[in-house]
Structure 1
Amino acid sequence: MTAGRTGRKRPTISDVASRAGVTKGAVSRALNSGTGVSPETRERIRQAAVDLGWSPSYAARALNGKPLGTIGLVVRRSPDVLDFDAFFASFLSGIESVLSGEEHATVIRFVPDARTEATTYERLFNDRFVDGFLITDPRVNDDRCEMLSRMGAPAVVVGAPSGYSDFPTITYDAEDAIRTLVQRFFDAGHRHVAHVQGDPYMLHALQRRRHWEKALRDLGVEPGPVEHGFYTIAGGAKATQRLLDLPERPTAIFYGSDLMAIGGYSALSDSGLAIPADVAVAGFDDIALASFTSPPLTTIRSRHRALGSSAARILLDMLKGQEAPASTVLTAELRVRESTE
């Protein structure tokens, strides 16, 4: 009979932890891969789960040392991000290319705020819906790594620099590509180069800005003004208009994403300015649309699909008990097109 018919409360992971005399984190680690707990403790936890009748099929697989077959992705953005953000579609495609071959799946949850984000991570892992997580959009003062570490949840951080956390990280090294772009601007005579940054609290947005600033200063040029476009077309258009309204408008603009650059095209056109004759433009991502804009957009190519597939592979290897590299770095490259020529 089900718990609903008998009125008896279904056993939880807390009940298992209490019966075994361990923490919930120890139960999670034991049920996930067995790492971090002794064989004796793992057996005590297994027996407690059996005694309490807490053995649905997914828990039984974990108790036998087998992955549940799912990894979690908790995204603190609107689900609309899938409609316009070039990153997520390609990133998810890369994840699926790895998981589908091993009969695994991704559990995706979009959340509106930090509190919901934290409870979602806890529920997905402690209730055994997922084996581990891919952490995307690392932020300033981000406490997710610390929280997941306390829970005993395996994770890979996507888009953070080396040494960001104790979890393995995977990211792009775009410094050389941004430096090459800035050098092209300099060689073309541009000394007033602006930047449209994405989300000011996301680490990858800060990294792109810092690489741009350093490349200019190394050339003896003071970085130009910065506006925030929040990775949307509309945000890019508004940020560009604010730059054009300055007493001295920039002669070149580096956008932190192609979508913001496309919004910039609209604002520049509305102002009667030609690209690149009046303002040179470059983006970041190399989305499919970038080569079909008019003029085609110079951009820094970051292979989002490869990022997803590599991150998924690292996490799956971790779940199988293999040691993961502390840091994995993919290289971005500059794609030069007519918007800077």
Structure 2
Amino acid sequence: MKRARIQDIADAVGVSAAAASFALNGKPGVSEAVRRKVLDAAETMGWQPNVAARSLAGARAGAIGLVIARTTDSFGTENFFLRLIAGIEQSIASRSLSLVLQLVDSVEAEIATYRRWYSEHRVDGVLLVDLRVDDPRPAVLTELSLPAVVIGGPESFGLPHVTISDDAAMRIIVAHLVAQGHTHIAYVSGLSELSHTQSRIDAFEQASAAAGIIADPAYSTDYSAADGSRATIELLIREPRATAVIFDNEVLAIAGLSELADAGLAVPEQMAVVAWEDSPIWLALRPHLTALRRDPTVLGNDGATALLAAIDGEPVQTVAEPVPTLIIRESTGG
């Protein structure tokens, strides 16, 4: 099969070869509509940049990439990602490398970013976060021969991995609530399509069933405060018997606490509350919040260190992070 050229893409879209080149290389001078048409045509035609030409530009880009599919507002309020990035910077600073960060609104946009980075020789490898069920991204990165390490979730997809025991952490939370006498627990989760969310939901249901208690169906959210409020109101209407609720991050927990207060429910007397992420904020609130403590800085450091080894052609083993610790405070009667 004949290799697609930039001129072929330009002819298919109806633009000049120069415009097609600008679009493929992320340079200014073309509209976003034209850029999207060119990128779509390039993907359809199976276009790949000339590897020999790329190698002439230099052996290394001196940077690693991180793409996060979150809105700007969501990213700015999630402490997890800020600390993760701090850990990444800790690892790469000693080698004078840069982190290229991109926020996108979809997996499709994320894949397009990887293809663009590859064509531009912008990064030497990438860190992959928020693994999804049936995720297409690992296959794309393998196709591009772009070194990659997955951070979070269970080990899968054949890429080097920094694993997190989300299932074990959820079992610890459920066991604590059961020990406190709760028999009807609710869970306000994150995005249901994320593999780590699914691991938590499965563990929540299994641990509850093993303890012989009722586990409400998870209330999925997009991690925003507005969606946390919506989910909390929904569970209070649908599950009035619930006496404990688990929130998947600090933003959801704060929104949920506000709705519980508006509903006149005392914490922990009428509703026990657990947050998946620990935060200094919880000690500024009364009651102090029970929360799961882990260190995203370590995740970022370990992930970046593994990626640098992969870029150097060294064998990379899966890194298993310790099971997070449940810090028991007043919101569950501690």
Q: Which segments of 5 or more consecutive residues in structure 1 lack a partner in the other structure?
A: 1-6, 14-22, 28-44
Deviates more, 1:231-240 or 1:268-277: 231-240
Q: CA deviation at 1:266?
A: 0.2
The aligned counterpart of 1:37 is: none
Partner of 2:110: 117
Deviates most, 249-258 or 304-313: 249-258
Structure 2 counterpart SS, 1:245: helix
Counterpart in the other structure of 1:102: 95
String of CA shifts for 1:55-97, please: whole Å, max 9, x gaps.
4xxx32x1xxxx3220011122222233211111001000011
* Residues 177-186 or 137-146, more deviating: 177-186
1:85, 1:185 → 2: CA distance?
25
Pairing 1:189–2:191 present: no
Deviation track 1:257-279 (CA, whole Å, cap 9, x = no partner) reads 22211111000000111000000
Structural mapping, 1:76-225, within 5 Å: 76-162=69-155, 164-225=156-217
Provide the C-alpha distance between the structure 1 equivalents of 2:73 and 2:252, rounded to a whole number of angstroms. Answer: 16
Q: Report whether the alignment pairs 1:298 with 2:313.
A: no
Q: Distance in 1 between matches of 2:21 and 2:233?
A: 58
Do the aligned residues in 2 keep the contact of 1:284 with 1:302 (CA within 8 Å)? no
TM-score (norm 1): 0.80
Give the Cα–Cα distance (whole angstroms) in 2 for the partners of residues 297 and 168 of structure 1.
35
Aligned residue number for residue 232 of structure 1: 224
- Opposite residue 119 of structure 1, the aligned amino acid is A
Question: Which whole-Å deviations, capped at 9, do the CAs of 1:142-194 have from their partners, x for residues lacking one?
Answer: 100001100111000111312x1111111211333322221221122211111
Q: Which residue of 2 aligns with 1:35?
A: none
Verify the 8 A CA contact 1:258 1:299 in the aligned structure 2: no
- The code of the aligned residue for 1:79 comes to T
Structure-2 separation of matches of 1:279 and 1:81:
26
For the 8 Å contact 2:164–2:322, the answer to whether it is kept is: yes
- Contact 1:208 1:256 (C-alpha < 8 Å) held by counterparts: no
| Amino acid of the structure 1 residue aligned with 2:250 | D
Confirm or deny: 8 A CA contact 2:267 2:331 kept in the other structure.
yes
Residue type of the alignment partner of 2:163:
T
Match of 2:276?
A: 284
Distance (Å, rounded) in 1 between the aligned partners of 2:21 and 2:182 = 67
Deviation at 1:116, TM superposition (A): 2.4
1:259 and 2:251 matched: yes
Change (3 A) 1:247 1:111: closer
Matched letter for residue 307 of structure 2: L
The size of the alignment, in residue pairs, is 294
Shift of 1:329: 3.2
Q: CA deviation at 1:25?
A: 8.4
Q: Tell me: CA distance 1:259–1:214, structure 2 relative to 1, closer, same or farther (3 Å).
A: same
**What amino acid is aligned across from residue 109 of structure 1 in structure 2?**
Q
**Conservation of the 8 A alpha-carbon contact between 1:243 and 1:249:** no
For structure 2, the 5+ residue unaligned runs are 1-17, 26-46
Contact 1:71 1:131 (8 Å CA) reproduced? yes
- Within 5 A, what are the aligned runs for 1:320-335? 320-335=312-327
Partner Cα separation in structure 2 for residue 330 and residue 181 of structure 1: 16
Distance in 1 of aligned mates of 2:226 and 2:286 = 18
CA deviation profile, 1:184-225 (whole Å, cap 9, x unmatched): 211222111111111111111111121211111111223124
Taking only the aligned residue pairs, the percentage that are identical comes to: 32
TM-aligned CA distance change 1:201 to 1:174, over 3 Å: closer
The alignment yields a C-alpha RMSD, in angstroms, of 2.5
2:302–2:319 contact (8 Å) kept in structure 1: no
Letter aligned with residue 225 of structure 2: I
Question: Do 1:225 and 1:243's aligned partners in 2 also have CA atoms closer than 8 Å?
Answer: no
Partner-residue secondary structure (3-state), 1:253: strand
For the 8 Å contact 1:25–1:150, the answer to whether it is kept is no
Tell me if structure 2 keeps the 8 A contact 1:193–1:225. no
The answer to whether the 8 Å contact 1:193/1:250 transfers is yes
**1:26 touches 1:152 (CA, 8 Å); kept in 2?**
no
Name the residue aligned to 2:304. Answer: 312
- TM-score of the two chains, using structure 2 as the length reference: 0.81
